[in-house]
Amino acid sequence: STGSPAMPPPETGREVAPRSRVDLGDGPRRIADGPITVGICAMEKKARSNPMTQMVDRLTSFRSNGHPEFEVVYFEQDTILNKPVDEWPACEALIAFFSTGFPLEKARAYVKQHKPRYVFNDLDKQEWLFDRRIVYDLLQKSGVPVPKHAILNAKLENTIDE
């Protein structure tokens, strides 16, 4: 816990006990199969933030013939930090956000074990954000301008090119 009081879950989402793997089958997903279970896997502050709440509210407002199209499951911070991934809730779509203290490797293990149909915010690529060299290289390769910069690699002997 971060020391601040826990915010109550928004009325649109719910917390559930861990379930066995969601049966995804191999065929196309239909609303007749029930609502799509969307898992929110992030530290408490980010999972309950205003932008996330707005996204969840919008997501859970979708209906088909009066039936909800999405059901939201929050991965509690205690679960994320202290329980093995086989005890994490099952979901068909995973929204995971890295922030300080978030166990990225554990989240990757969850995806490997539970195999959600959709994973938003690619967990392997989130690690790229830790290295400015990779980010700048990706931006430049995509034609996005980057500010003038210098990179010091502490593992190598560095020289300045003028």
pLDDT confidence of residue 143: 95
154-161: average pLDDT:
67
Q: Which of 105 and 156 is assigned the larger pLDDT?
A: 105
Span 42-91, pLDDT tens digits: 999 999 999 999 999 999 999 988 889 999 999 999 999 999 999 999 99
Cβ-contact 102, 43 below 8 angstroms: yes
Confidence of residue 26 (pLDDT cuts 50, 70, 90): low
Q: Which of 86 and 17 is assigned the larger pLDDT?
A: 86
Confidence of residue 145 (pLDDT cuts 50, 70, 90): very high
CA distance 68 to 45: 26
User: What is this structure's pTM?
Assistant: 0.70
In order, the DSSP letters of 54-76 are HHHHHHHT-EETTEESEEEEE--
Span 97-137, pLDDT tens digits: 888 899 999 999 999 999 999 999 888 888 888 888 889 99
